[in-house]
Amino acid sequence: KPNFNNGLTYTVETVTDLNGTWSSQSSELELIRIASESADFDRYTYRLVEPVSSNANAFLRVTISE
């Protein structure tokens, strides 16, 4: 993600079933690290708050909007 204001909003979302409804609730996701990639870009690392069991699925995506 750019570390300057480019007029875009970046939203991390999660879902456990790809046919389900994506959620961006902060109670489900946590930001664990921001690392500088270059002079203008940072890498954000997120994870689910609750662990995923061995027989379950979880998916994350980033939506970008103006």
Look at phi and psi of residue 47 and say left if phi exceeds 0, alpha if psi is from -120 to 50, else beta: beta
pLDDT at 54 over 80: no
Selected residue with higher pLDDT from 55 and 5:
5
Assign 7 a pLDDT band (cuts: 50, 70, 90): very high
pLDDT for position 42 = 95
| Contact by Cβ (8 Å): 28, 49 | yes
Q: Which of 56, 50, 64 is nearest to 9 (CA)?
A: 64
User: What is the average pLDDT score of the chain?
Assistant: 91
pLDDT for position 12 = 95
Average pLDDT estimate for 23-50? 92
Average pLDDT estimate for 34-58? 89
